Amino acid sequence: MKIQKHNYITMVILAMGMAGAAQAANVPEGTALAEQQTLVRSNGNEPASLDPHKVESDVEFNIISDLFDGLVAVKKRWQHRATPGAVLGE
C-alpha cells in the first residue's frame, strides 16, 4: 500500500510539472507576430518510399508516423485493440 501511495504522489507531482510546461508563451504587448502561424518540420532527405511495408530509414518512418498519428487509438490499456480515433473526429 505504501508503494502505491508513493507512485500516486510521484504521478501528481509529474503532472503538475508537465502542466506548467504546457503553458503558452508570454508575448509582450506590441510584439508583431508572423501573419501565418505555421510549423515547418524538416525531413532531411527525400523518402525512398511511403509504403509502410517498405520503410527502412528514419526519414520514411517519421513521415509514416505523422500520417497515421491519431487515425487509430488504443482505448483501454492491455487490450491491444485499435479503435477509430481522429477518423471519426473524437
The answer, yes or no, to whether residue 13 has pLDDT greater than 70, is: yes
> Which residue has better confidence, 12 or 6?
12
Please indicate, yes or no, if residue 76 is contained in any of the structural domains: yes
Q: What is the pLDDT of residue 62?
A: 85
Please indicate, yes or no, if residue 58 is contained in any of the structural domains: yes
pTM over 0.85: no
Please indicate, yes or no, if residue 10 is contained in any of the structural domains: no
List, in order, residues 6 or more apart from 71 with CB less than 8 Å away.
84, 85, 86, 87
* Number of domains present in the structure of the chain: 1
Please indicate, yes or no, if residue 75 is contained in any of the structural domains: yes
Please indicate, yes or no, if residue 7 is contained in any of the structural domains: no
Please indicate, yes or no, if residue 26 is contained in any of the structural domains: no
**Structural domain span for residue 65:** 53-90
Please indicate, yes or no, if residue 35 is contained in any of the structural domains: no
C-alpha cell read off for 21: 510546461
Q: pLDDT per residue over 27-72, tens digit each?
A: 888 888 888 888 777 888 888 888 889 988 888 888 887 787 777 7
